[in-house]
């Protein structure tokens, strides 16, 4: 399966972010659906059952560092990937450590984590027709994360669908 490890915002905060996003960018036709909001910690790519089991066991035996809060107070746009995202104005040590741990765990199971420098973010829109204007209202959200999820990513004609496979307490 195509898989990744991520953090999922609680439903209430996710809805608030989604409402803010819809108000800020009414001109963007396809904002990411609120059900798909997540912060990718490690993109694993295609993994088979044995690798999945090994990663799950390793995570279960690790100290993941405990629950933490992340400020989501900065909007960014990566022009190459054409991704509009919501992230943080400063580094979050807990998130960075978690990403490092997950990368090590993946490597131990023979999975090379792809992606550039880790930048915790929620993708709000992909490939808008034009670069989005600045947000009308600056974001100032805080999300509390208690668990890490292993997701399967299913790509079909309607886009990406994420199915939770496992959840681990931080």
Residues that bind ligand 3AM (CB under 6 A): 4, 40, 43, 114-115, 123, 153
Task: Report, in Å, the least distance between residue 109 CB and ligand 3AM.
Answer: 17
Tell me whether residue 104 or residue 114 sits nearer to ligand 3AM (CB atom): 114
Task: Report, in Å, the least distance between residue 18 CB and ligand 3AM.
Answer: 15
Tell me whether residue 96 or residue 114 sits nearer to ligand 3AM (CB atom): 114
Task: Report, in Å, the least distance between residue 90 CB and ligand 3AM.
Answer: 19
Task: Report, in Å, the least distance between residue 81 CB and ligand 3AM.
Answer: 8
CB 165 within 8 A of CB 154: no
| Among the listed residues 109, 97, 146, 139, the one whose alpha carbon sits nearest the alpha carbon of residue 122 | 139
Tell me whether residue 43 or residue 168 sits nearer to ligand 3AM (CB atom): 43
Tell me whether residue 15 or residue 78 sits nearer to ligand 3AM (CB atom): 78
Q: Which long-range contacts (CB under 8 A, 24 or more apart) does 58-62 make?
A: 58/105, 58/108, 58/109, 59/5, 59/102, 59/105, 59/148, 59/150, 59/166, 59/168, 60/168, 62/101, 62/105
């Amino acid at each position: 399966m195509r898989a990744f490890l991520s953090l999922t915002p609680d439903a209430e905060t996710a809805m608030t972010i989604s409402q803010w996003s819809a108000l800020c960018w009414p001109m963007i036709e396809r904002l990411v659906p609120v059900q798909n909001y997540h912060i990718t910690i490690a993109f694993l790519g295609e993994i088979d059952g044995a690798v999945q089991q090994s990663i799950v066991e390793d995570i279960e035996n690790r100290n993941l560092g405990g629950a933490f809060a992340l400020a989501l107070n900065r909007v960014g746009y990566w022009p190459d990937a054409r991704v509009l995202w919501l992230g943080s104005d400063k580094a979050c040590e807990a998130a960075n450590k978690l990403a490092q741990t997950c990368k090590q765990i993946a490597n131990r199971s023979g999975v090379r984590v792809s992606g550039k420098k880790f930048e915790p973010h929620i993708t709000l829109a992909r490939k808008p027709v034009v670069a989005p204007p600045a947000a009308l209202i600056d974001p100032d959200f805080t999300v509390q994360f208690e668990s890490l999820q292993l997701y399967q990513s299913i790509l079909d004609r309607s886009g990406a669908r994420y199915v939770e496979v496992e959840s681990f307490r931080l």
